[in-house]
Structures are given as C-alpha cells and as structure tokens.
Amino acid sequence: MFYGFDMGGSKIALGVYDAQRQLVWSKRVPTPRDDYAQLLESFTRLTAEADAITSQRGSVGVGVPGLPNPDDGTLFTANVPAAQGQRLGRDLSERLGREVRIDNDANCFALSEAWDDEFRAYPVVLGLILGTGVGGGLVVDGKPVSGRSFITGEAGHMRLPVDALALLGQDIPLRQCGCGKRGCIETLLSGQGFSWLFHHFYQQTLSAPVIIERYYQGDPQAQAHTGRFRALLAVCLGNLLTLLDPHLVVLGGGLSNFAVLYDGLAEQVQPHLLPRAKPPRFAQARHGDAGGMRGAAFLHLR
C-alpha cells in the first residue's frame, strides 16, 4: 500500500492507494499549525489508522507547501509555521519506523498526473499550475526531477521573454513578485496576473471569473484580453518547452478550467520553438484536489 499525505495550511489529507494506484481509503484532519509535536502526532495517528485498516505497513510520502533543504533536511514552509525549519522527513521516519519521502506540492501534482493511466504513455511530463501563482513540476520516466534545491519546474519565476514585451508593450510595468524580484512570469500568468492585465489595458478592476464570464457573453474587451493572454502564455512557454522538450504538459490551477486558454495552444506555441521541434500535447489536470496526496503516495512508485 502507498500512503500519501498532503500537508496544507488548514488540513492534512491522507490517501491510501493500492498497487493499481486506486484510492482505497482517505481521511482529513486539521493541521496543527503552531505545535510541531502535535503535527508529528497527527501524522503518527493517521498512519497507524491506515495500517490497521489495510493490515499492512504502507510506504509513506508527504507533499508540502514549501521546499525541503537537501543539505540538512530542514523544511521551508510559510503556510505551516510548526514545520518551519524542522527536519520533518527524518523525524517522521524515526516515529513511523519506515522511510518517509518528502517533496513540494507542485512536484506531487505533476507526479500524480504523470501516473494517470493514459498519461503514463508520456516519458517526460511537465505539470504547470496556473492559479494564485504559477508553479510546476517535471516528471521523467515516472520519477520527479527535484533538482539541486527542489525548485525544478518552478516556471513562475522565470523572467519575461523579450517577445512578451513586444506583445504587451515595452512600457509594461514590471510588477514585483512574491519572491522579491520583478519581471517574473508569475506576475502575469497567474489568476491575479490575468486580472491585472485586464485592468492595465482597460482600466477596469475585475476578477478572473468575471472576465471569463464576460468572454462567454461575447464581450469584446474580454475576448481581446483572452486572445492577448493566450499569446502571452504561448510566448512564455516557448523558452520552457525549448529547455525541457516534454511530451505532455498538464495544466492545473484555477485558470486551467478556462479551456479556451489551451485549446489550440500547441499550434500557437509552434512559432516560438526551434524549427524542427514538435509541440507537446496539452491537457487539463484530471485529479484535482486529490493530486497532492496521490503524488505524495506515488513518490515510492517505480
């Protein structure tokens, strides 16, 4: 059995999966945000409950909203203060008496999608999250590529390419990103960026859902904005796809529900690739909120 924990700022979700990667049991409990001992105890109780239900000692993986430090095992996570700076993987391994694998939640999202029955046919899978921010993960032959510092796939912090400035105007303000730098593509390709761009061009403050609703109602500004955003997405993907050359790109996050953004995206990306390059398949994520615990469980799959 494969146990996958999705540790968030408000809840810890556990999913138990069998050898066929089917969910057999799940449970959620509140996250003890400010007490590390209670946090460890929550993981311990849930694991013991899963062992009792399955009559097995399942493998354990944990997806975290942050970055493990590969040098000393400490965790950086702003959303769960109790775990900040703690060696969560080591401490859980000692408590549970088994290896505990930890990765960031974007990598777990990508891994979950890469192990989808149909998507397993693709050797290189890029998961891209277009939500509050822009994140992602890279999976090669069923295994996540975490990199030196667990930031492989963090596409949101690449800089805007020159073609983006040609599209939007050389005088486009370079907004400050949450990472502290300016000009990250996250500031424009996220849900907030989608709304900010609309305001920049039309001087109206509207949320992404309202803009999308207006698009379907035939509003000319919303339709022009969507076309511009699609072109921007294709431009920004050009460098990323040239670097990684994935077979499949899976889109998640709130904006992925707006299918207009990625219908025909392969053709729109083509001019931004090398002449001989083939664009990947683009598909919407299939496993939604379960992706975190699925991907965490599958950290032990080979």
Q: d(Cα 112, Cα 127) in Å, to the nearest integer?
A: 9
Question: Is 133 marked as binding a ligand?
Answer: yes
Question: Is 100 marked as binding a ligand?
Answer: no
Q: What angle do CA 63, 68, 74 make, to 5 degrees?
A: 120
Question: Is 264 marked as binding a ligand?
Answer: no
Question: Is 16 marked as binding a ligand?
Answer: no
Question: Is 108 marked as binding a ligand?
Answer: no
Tokens of 112: 């979950």
Tokens of 280: 């990947």
Tokens of 291: 């992706």
Q: d(Cα 84, Cα 62) in Å, to the nearest integer?
A: 15
Question: Is 136 marked as binding a ligand?
Answer: yes
Count H helices, E strands: the chain?
10, 12
Q: d(Cα 31, Cα 80) in Å, to the nearest integer?
A: 8
**What b/e readout covers 87-97, taking b as 16+ CB neighbours within 10 angstroms?**
bbbebbbeebe
Question: Is 9 marked as binding a ligand?
Answer: yes
Question: Is 73 marked as binding a ligand?
Answer: no
Question: Is 295 marked as binding a ligand?
Answer: no
Question: Is 236 marked as binding a ligand?
Answer: no
Single out the residue of 65, 28, 62, 61 nearest to residue 45, CA to CA.
Answer: 28
| β partners of residue 2 | 17, 59
Question: Is 62 marked as binding a ligand?
Answer: no
Question: Is 4 marked as binding a ligand?
Answer: yes
Contacts of 81 (CB under 8 A, 6+ apart): 33, 34
Q: d(Cα 163, Cα 236) in Å, to the nearest integer?
A: 8
Tokens of 88: 């969560």
Question: Is 10 marked as binding a ligand?
Answer: yes
Question: Is 252 marked as binding a ligand?
Answer: no
Single out the residue of 161, 211, 209 nearest to residue 185, CA to CA.
Answer: 161
* Residue set of the binding site: 4-11, 133-140, 157, 177, 179, 184
* Residue set of the binding site for Zn(2+): 157, 177, 179, 184
* Residue set of the binding site for ATP: 4-11, 133-140
